[in-house]
Amino acid sequence: MAAKNILHMLTPHKHVSPFDVNMAADAGFDVIVPYEAVTLEEVGDLVQDAIFSRPPHDGASTAIFFGGDDAVLALDMIDAAKNALVPPFGTHVFADPQGSFTTAAAMVACTEKVLQAKKGRGLKGARIAVFGATGVVGYCAAVIAALEGAEVTLVGHNGVERVQARADEMKQRFGVDVAAVNGASDAEKADVLKETEVVFAAAKAGVRVLTASLLSGAPKLLAAADVNAVPPSGIEGVDVFDLGKEIPGTAALGIGALAIGNVKYQTESGLFKRMIASDEVLALDFRDAFTLARTLVPEL
């Protein structure tokens, strides 16, 4: 009898995300077990419990998923899980805290497709401003874009200290150089937008980051992506379904939350299915999500 596909879902929070549980079940996992309030220090023991209970050839039928809402902690948990493996025993590991890894991947992939199809360029060298950069989606989108050769600026909403700390963290972990500036006031946002070619808006749901007035003062803006699906939109003039539609009053193209969400959904589902199908154990993070998301954006 074939080994059952078992998914252990770990989160540092009180509850595992029902969204992720549904996604995993629909992808085809036979058994899904939640673990709440898991600390980084506990990850190794849990992983070894999972791998030593099955023969090595069934390692690829076991998977560990990390949730939560902290991108850095999720990456640390992946590292802890990998360090706990004892070959030939193994397991898949996959992190998507608060859906951020797959959302960020979808956001960047959709933006890249719009730029390529309608502006004749890609991400390399693009000047990108990330609003909501201290959050999980903004953090991951910034790193993905920087790894693709974009010139990324993290824009703080209450000073530069927190975004500078994130920039330093990105440099240490991923070797990317990103800038950090304050964007607390409209005047400071306007100053950022003067040279910006692409905007990623990843602030809290229901928070408008950029008004039409600010966008009208961004002469070099090519595209603006917004992951906020809760009114008001994060970027005025960007509809949730937009995928390359011109933003009123500008020459820039909008990418909306539900257009991004469609690719995000397929990406998360696809990564769960990849673990089930693979005979080799996989370690998946937002870089793998971006590679897959690029193949899922509709043609324009």
Residue spans per domain, the chain: 6-99+265-296, 102-260
C-alpha distances in angstroms, 281 versus 26, 90, 275, 276, 277? 21, 7, 7, 10, 10
Task: Quickly state the pLDDT bin for 4 (edges 50, 70, 90).
Answer: very high
Percent of the chain with pLDDT over 90: 99
The torsion angles phi and psi of 115, rounded to 5 degrees, stand at -60, -45
pLDDT for 211: 98
Does residue 223 register a pLDDT over 80?
Answer: yes
In the chain, what percentage of residues exceed pLDDT 70? 100
| Residue 89 pLDDT grade (very low, low, confident, very high; cuts 50, 70, 90) | very high
CB 250 within 8 A of CB 214: no
Over range 32-47, report the average pLDDT. Answer: 98
pLDDT band at 2 (very low <50, low <70, confident <90, very high): confident
Asked if the domains 6-99+265-296 and 102-260 are classified in one and the same CATH topology, the answer is yes
The CATH architecture that domain 6-99+265-296 belongs to is 3-Layer(aba) Sandwich (3.40)
Answer yes or no: is pLDDT of 88 > 90: yes
| DSSP symbol at 63 | E
Q: Average pLDDT for residues 91-110, to the nearest whole number?
A: 98
**Per-chain mean pLDDT for the chain:** 97
* Surface-to-core class of residue 62, CB atoms within 10 Å of its CB (0-12 exposed, 13-18 middle, 19+ buried): buried
- Specify the pTM: 0.96
Say which CATH topology domain 102-260 has.
Answer: Rossmann fold (3.40.50)
